[in-house]
Structure formats: C-alpha cells, structure tokens
C-alpha cells in the first residue's frame, strides 16, 4: 500500500501549524467559512504559510463562496490547493485551475458515488454526513463502502476520525489520504499535539501492517 497522506484541518494557530509539520503531517487545512468556529483570516494564514516548508500543502477550505472570493483569498493567504466543501457546481470548481483543487462530498445512506464523476478533479474528500452541516460534525460513514469508489480518483476519508479509529478506517477504505480536525482538538481550532502525534503514528502503523500482509 502506498503512503497515506495525512491532512489536518481547522488550523488557526502558528504553533499548531509548525508542530503538525514536525509530526509528519502532509497537508494543513485552513477554514475560510465564516460560520465555522475554526474560521481564520487570510492575513493570519499568510503569516503561518510564510514559515512553513514549501512542499507542505496549504489547503483553503471554502463553502459556497463566489469564485472571486476564492481566488482573492487563495492569493492573499498563499494557498497551494483549494477544497470546495459546499454545494459548488462543477464549473465553478474547475475555474480555479491551474491551482489544484479537491471536492468534498457528504456521504450519507443515499450517497451516489457516480456523482463524483461530475467533478473534473483527481481527488475527492468523503466526509461523514449530518443534515444541514458542512463538515466538522464528527459523523462517521461506513468506510468499507469507499474501497470500490477509488475508481473515480484519489479518496481522502474524513469525518469522526481520531487516533483510536483511523487505523480501522485505513484498513477498511484503503484511501489515498485521511483528514482530521475535531479528533485531535482540545477546542475547535486548538490542536492537541499529543493526540495528533498518536494519530500520525496510528496511520503509519496501519500502512506497515497492510504492506506486510501484501508481502506475505
């Protein structure tokens, strides 16, 4: 199994951003949805981004924003990728090219994986669904269902992940990546670095176990 990408979302503090990178996190998510308790100003993100390694992904999370705001914030904050986490139409998402982008989808009992094919991207984030919410709810879906959906692209699993269950999520879904927010927090936007370290360690152990089984 290939290395699983680890993304930590809802970063609001410089210390958390820098320490997350030291712990081996691959991508940091910054929430620009103003209704979120993890909302952060673009200027604050820029100050953090300027202190981060160039090869760490800096992902801006947007919910139903006009294209012009997405592009303005991306430039101001120094983002390297966009995550559309609302009900954005495919044409709006594609208009941010050549910047890489991710489409997040809410996975409930009636989720149709064919809907992923509407979005011309390489990577999709599958988030646990709770009515009326756009992410950060801690809702979990049946991860094993996602294994067959990899035919549509690279899949990132999100929703209710924590150090105790992320290995099982990887075993079940065999994803490209995992995304965590509340599962490694003290408060919304404030990370518990001990829990984050345990989370990353659990991901790497799951990788090794799967690789060993494949080689047996």
Indicate if the alpha-carbon torsion angle 112, 114, 117, 122 is positive or negative.
positive
| SS3 state at 140 | coil
Q: Which of 9, 16, 65, 179 is catalytic?
A: 9
Q: Which of these, 199, 164, 167, 180, lies nearest to 1 by C-alpha position?
A: 167
Q: At what angle do helices 14-22 and 193-215 cross, to 10 degrees?
A: 30
| SS3 state at 88 | coil
| SS3 state at 154 | strand
Q: Does the active-site annotation cover 127? A: yes
| SS3 state at 145 | helix
Q: Does the active-site annotation cover 9? A: yes
Rounded CA-CA distance 15/56 in Å is 15
Contacts of 168 (CB under 8 A, 6+ apart): 143
Contacts of 20 (CB under 8 A, 6+ apart): 8, 11, 28, 191, 193, 196
| CB-CB neighbours of 120 under 10 Å | 13
Q: Which of 16, 65, 93, 127 is catalytic?
A: 127
Active site positions, annotated? 9, 127
């Amino acid at each position: 199994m290939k290395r699983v990408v680890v993304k930590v979302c809802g970063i609001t503090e410089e210390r958390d951003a820098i320490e997350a990178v030291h712990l081996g996190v691959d991508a940091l998510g910054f929430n620009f949805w103003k209704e979120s308790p993890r909302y952060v100003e673009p200027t604050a993100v820029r100050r953090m981004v300027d202190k981060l390694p160039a090869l760490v992904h800096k992902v801006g999370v947007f919910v139903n924003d006009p294209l012009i705001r997405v592009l303005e914030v991306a430039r101001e904050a120094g983002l390297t990728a966009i995550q559309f986490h609302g009900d954005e139409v495919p044409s709006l998402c594609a208009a941010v090219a050549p910047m890489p982008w991710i489409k997040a989808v809410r996975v409930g009992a009636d989720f149709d994986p064919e809907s992923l094919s509407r979005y011309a991207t390489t990577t999709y984030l599958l988030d646990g669904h709770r009515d009326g919410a756009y992410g950060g709810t801690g809702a979990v879906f049946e991860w094993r269902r996602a294994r067959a959906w990899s035919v549509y692209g690279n899949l990132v699993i999100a929703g209710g992940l924590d150090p105790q269950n992320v290995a099982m999520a990887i075993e079940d879904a065999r994803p490209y990546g995992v995304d965590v927010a509340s599962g490694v927090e003290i408060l919304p936007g404030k990370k518990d670095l001990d829990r984050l370290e345990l989370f990353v360690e659990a991901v790497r152990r799951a990788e090794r176990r799967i690789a060993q089984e494949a080689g047996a």
